[in-house]
Amino acid sequence: GEDVEQSLFLSVREGDSSVINCTYTDSSSTYLYWYKQEPGAGLQLLTYIFSNMDMKQDQRLTVLLNKKDKHLSLRIADTQTGDSAIYFCALRDIKIIFGKGTRLHILP
């Protein structure tokens, strides 16, 4: 079945860029997502990319997709304390397949 892998933790200094990486096995998904989950809060769709795109930029967020290597990344520029959360990589055809999440910790 489909599998989505991502590292569990990332620590970044405030003001630096954060890069969260994800690899996946399924190549039939149309949409690839990044969700954000803060403690006690619901899942928030952060950004997404269509499978026929290589890059998408949205303000401080840049998503890169390497279809050949089945690798998806999320770059957060100028990381702020409010970016501290768990970030889930996810794939969708109809249902969504989520990774286990990367906990982003911001160092002062």
Partner 1 sequence: DTGVSQDPRHKITKRGQNVTFRCDPISEHNRLYWYRQTLGQGPEFLTYFQNEAQLEKSRLLSDRFSAERPKGSFSTLEIQHTEQGDSAMYLCASSHANQGDEQFFGPGTRLTVL
Task: List interacting residues with partner 1 (CB under 8 A).
Answer: 4, 42-43, 45, 88, 90, 92, 94-101
- Min CB(58)–partner 1 separation in Å: 15
Q: Which two tokens stand for residue 22?
A: 């994800």
For residue 40, the one-letter residue type is G
Output 10 or 43, the one with its CB closest to partner 1.
43
Output 18 or 87, the one with its CB closest to partner 1.
87
Given a contact cutoff of 8 angstroms between Cβ atoms, the answer to whether 104 and 85 are in contact is yes
**Which are the contacts of 8, defined by CB distance < 8 A and separation ≥ 6?**
100, 101, 102, 103
Output 1 or 108, the one with its CB closest to partner 1.
1
- Min CB(33)–partner 1 separation in Å: 9
- Min CB(1)–partner 1 separation in Å: 9
Output 16 or 50, the one with its CB closest to partner 1.
50
- Min CB(63)–partner 1 separation in Å: 16
Q: Is the dihedral of CA 28, 51, 96, 87 positive or negative?
A: positive
Q: What are phi and psi of 82, to 5 degrees?
A: -70, -10
